[in-house]
Amino acid sequence: MTTVTPALRLTGDGAIRQEPLRRLLLRQVAEMHAAEKDALQVLAELAAAARSPRLGLLLRLHVAETREHITRLRHIMDRHGVPAGTLGSRGKRGLLEDCIELACSEADDPTVRDTALAAVALHLEHDEIASYQVLRMWASQLGMHDASDAMGMTMGEEQRLESRLIQWSAAHHRASQGRTAFRTGE
Ligand SMILES: [Fe+2]
């Protein structure tokens, strides 16, 4: 039977123990490091596949930012003696697989394909934002302020891409509708 993770055991006064939470945080940092490395490959492929110059640029810029995110995570791991693993979480790997499927789903229509590529990037970034929110909160609770600051900086960059992707998607949809109206003489 699955038991509650030891990292969430409470002390007598109801507070979460610091050392188990620290171990949990560092394990999640290593998982995030592996997940970002996988995401880096996928983002580069999305950027190469994008037909819209603006979407391609947004994704390429985020490839460069993601390299920096990996470096920040690696610094935290080095500082705390965490070895780099190669396996991200099952959930993140599953998300990546779903995203790749989505990106390939409308290969015949370049306009819809770009819409799918942006949706894939949104899925990935939204999940990363949630992960960094949690990691930053735990680091802050543990007094690991350097790690908390690094996580906050990365989260801000993920959120910026997310809002730019939403803006791009809205503009792309408006432009597609305009083209359709022009073709049909509406
Ligand atoms: Fe990201």
- Name which of 171, 132, 166, 168 is nearest 152 in CA terms: 132
* Residues 28-44: tens digit of each pLDDT: 999 999 999 988 988 99
22: tokens are: 């620290």
pTM over 0.85: no
* Residues 119-160: tens digit of each pLDDT: 889 989 999 999 999 999 999 999 999 999 999 999 999 999
Cα 143 to ligand 1 centre (Å): 25
Q: Which residues surround ligand 1, an ion (CB under 5 A)?
A: 128, 158
Cα 163 to ligand 1 centre (Å): 12
Instruction: Give SS3 for 16.
Output: strand
Q: Is residue 60 within 8 Å of 118, Cβ to Cβ?
A: no
> Which are the contacts of 113, defined by CB distance < 8 A and separation ≥ 6?
49, 51, 103, 106, 107
Cα 127 to ligand 1 centre (Å): 9
Q: Domains (ranges, CATH) in the chain?
A: 18-180 (1.20.1260.10)
Read off the pLDDT band of 186 (50, 70, 90). Answer: very low
